[in-house]
Amino acid sequence: MDIINLVGAAGGIVSSITFLPQLIKIWETKSAKDLSMVTLMFLVLNVSLWLLYGILTNLYPIIITNGLVLSMVFIMVYFKLTFKEQ
């Protein structure tokens, strides 16, 4: 099980920071026109389902990782709505 746990832990860390560079890029360029709002909505749904799965199974690493990712996705949606015409 050791390699499986290691892969899981690495995946959790990478997941948590995946959308941070995208957030920074949108903030710096004040442009999000190329981002798909439908994909952002799917991400909200998807990460929410993961969060729900984590809550139902009491898996704290899944709750923390997906809580962080969901916050970043919500900020991207806000940016997309705010910077949409640039």
Write out the residues near a second copy by the rule CB under 8 A.
Answer: 3-4, 7-8, 10-11, 14-15, 17-22, 24-26, 29, 31-36, 38-39, 42-43, 45-46, 49-50, 52-53, 56-57
**For residue 79, with 0-12 CB atoms within 10 Å meaning exposed, 13-18 middle and 19 or more buried, which class applies?**
buried
CB of 57 to a second copy, least distance (A): 6
CB of 71 to a second copy, least distance (A): 15
What's the rounded Cα separation, in Å, for the pair 30 and 82? 9
CB of 63 to a second copy, least distance (A): 14
Asked if 65 contacts 53 with a C-beta cutoff of 8 angstroms, the reply is no
